[in-house]
Amino acid sequence: LTEAHCGTDLGLLRTKATLNNDGTYNISGAKIFITSGEHDLAENIIHTVLARLPDAPPGIKGISLFLVPKFLVNSDHTLGQRNAVHCGSIEEKMGIKASSTCVMNFDNATGYLIGELNQGMQAMFSMMNLERLNIGIEGIGLAEVSYQNAVNYAKDRLQSRALTGIKFPEKAADPIIVHPDVRRMLLTMKAYIEGGRALSVWAAMQADMAEHHEDEKTRELCNNLIALVTPVIKAFFTDFGSEACNLGLQVLGGHGYIKEWGMEQFVRDARIAQIYEGTNGIQALDLVRRKLVMNEGMFLNQLIDVMVEYISHHQTENELAEFIQPFEDKLKDLREISQWIINAAKTDPNIIGSSSTDYLRLLGLVLLAFMWVKTVEVSLKKSAPFYQAKIKTARFYFQKLLPQIECLKQTIKAGSQVLMDLDTDTF
Ligand SMILES: Cc1cc2nc3c(=O)[nH]c(=O)nc-3n(C[C@H](O)[C@H](O)[C@H](O)COP(=O)(O)OP(=O)(O)OC[C@H]3O[C@@H](n4cnc5c(N)ncnc54)[C@H](O)[C@@H]3O)c2cc1C
């Protein structure tokens, strides 16, 4: 299954559809950047293609979604005639070289309407929303493989002595994992990956409940929560995924930059996840415009209620206080800055775009803090080293990563003018 919608500006869509007598459609035009557009790994390839009928309304209100198979399928389900959809060329990419990204040409190919006419965007979004979550997981996956390689290397590579004195006298030098700055890199990767993994499981639970919970109100709540966190999972996870792959490369020093070790490939592969399925900038706009400002913070308040309820259940647990207290503080920051954006956007529409990327990161950091508190709550009841490591990683997260929120609040409040002042000609 491929998706052929392509790019942010769907209003300029050039693929055309015309209706045939038998109820099928003729699809013509070209699409660039189609992941797995052509290959021989499967017996058939099904393209979902957005196209416009000649009499369709302008803009995205006139876009319909079509299914265009590489091979038409006979009534007895066997493969039939080759459809008029062909790969024009393969894109030369920075990374993900094992994935064929194609220019696809549709030359009066047979297509079948999916859903209602002119409702293509809505239909495509049900696929894209799932894909956005999947791409977030791609970010974690690449961060994890980079982390595993970096940890192995850091335990093995000998360089200098620990700042506190020799740790391994039998060796010519200490392994680099004794150095605080190397630990900073590894722990940053670990804290984002494990917090992110917990959040992806939490989000998957919300998605399941949104569909299957017996109570309608709970279904609605979960739907809103998943709508709110989807752009965060896509953009925050792929941003820290890319950041983590770069840190992993850095842990290997010069060897990280040499192809033989494979670390540079993770950096190249992770980069696309910040771009496709809607750039992270567009995810941030979706979050602030559609999920925050347009509903006056309703989804956000529902999420905050969930977190406040959790805090009130665990407020008296002494051992958890070290985490609950700063979490509660950051929740106040989140509430305050969200309201600031909602108010400021009423008089200055540029506030939405000037705050969006910072706000998405801020919300991502608070969500990960929530996951880390929950993780600590479970880990405190166990003694195995695995759980002790969780508590120590949570402590690192709270003390070294979560304070980014202070800076993000400040940059959001700096507003939009400083971005818009410079004349286009003077860039
Ligand atoms: C390897 C690869 C595989 C792909 N696979 C597929 C696929 O299978 N199917 C498919 O349909 N597409 C696919 N794409 C396309 C991909 O989804 C788009 O390239 C991506 O969504 C960005 O769109 P664009 O290239 O048009 O960028 P543009 O929309 O031109 O964006 C350029 C820059 O401007 C910013 N920007 C744009 N509009 C705004 C705005 N309103 N406000 C603020 N900032 C803005 C963006 O964030 C970005 O930084 C693929 C692309 C690549 C590179």
pLDDT of residue 9: 47
- Cα torsion for 154, 158, 164, 168, to the nearest 10°? 110
336-388 tens-digit pLDDT: 999 999 999 999 999 999 999 999 999 999 999 999 999 999 999 999 999 99
Placement of tokens 């900038």 in the chain? 281
How far apart CA 113 and CA 167 sit, in angstroms, is 68
How far apart CA 228 and CA 222 sit, in angstroms, is 10
Ligand 1 center to residue 25 CA distance, Å?
Answer: 27
The answer to whether 362 touches 410, Cβ cutoff 8 Å, is no
Q: Residue 413: count other Cβ atoms within 10 Å of its Cβ.
A: 13
Residue 306, Cβ density class (10 Å: 0-12 exposed, 13-18 middle, ≥19 buried) = middle
Atom of ligand 1 nearest to the CA of 281: 47
| For ligand 1, mutation pick of 31, 60, 282, 351 (most atoms within 8 Å of CB) | 282
Cβ–ligand 1 distance for 289 under 6 Å, the answer no
The answer to whether 230 touches 133, Cβ cutoff 8 Å, is yes
pLDDT of residue 127: 84
pLDDT of residue 13: 62
Concatenating the DSSP letter of every residue in 242-304 gives HHHHHHHHHHTTHHHHSGGGSHHHHHHHHHHHTTSSS-HHHHHHIIIIIIIITTTTHHHHHHH
Lookup: tokens for 159: 């360089």
Tell me the pairing of strands 63-69 and 71-73: unpaired
Ligand 1 center to residue 335 CA distance, Å?
Answer: 31
Q: Which residue owns the Cα nearest ligand 1 atom 26?
A: 7
Cβ–ligand 1 distance for 411 under 6 Å, the answer no
Ligand 1 center to residue 123 CA distance, Å?
Answer: 19
Strands (E) in 276-413, as ranges, are none
Ligand 1 center to residue 7 CA distance, Å?
Answer: 4
How far apart CA 82 and CA 146 sit, in angstroms, is 42
Placement of tokens 């992941």 in the chain? 35
Ligand 1 center to residue 281 CA distance, Å?
Answer: 10
Cβ–ligand 1 distance for 101 under 6 Å, the answer yes
Concatenating the DSSP letter of every residue in 67-79 gives EEESEEE-TTS-E
Q: pTM score, two decimals?
A: 0.95
Q: Residue 310: count other Cβ atoms within 10 Å of its Cβ.
A: 16
End-to-end CA distance of the chain: 42
| For ligand 1, mutation pick of 3, 8, 234 (most atoms within 8 Å of CB) | 8
How far apart CA 283 and CA 6 sit, in angstroms, is 15
Cβ–ligand 1 distance for 2 under 6 Å, the answer yes
User: Alpha-carbon Rg of the chain, whole angstroms?
Assistant: 25
Atom of ligand 1 nearest to the CA of 277: 17
Distance from chain centroid for Cα 26: 35
Q: Which residue owns the Cα nearest ligand 1 atom 19?
A: 7
Placement of tokens 């015309």 in the chain? 18
What residues in the chain have per-residue pLDDT under 50?
A: 6-9, 11
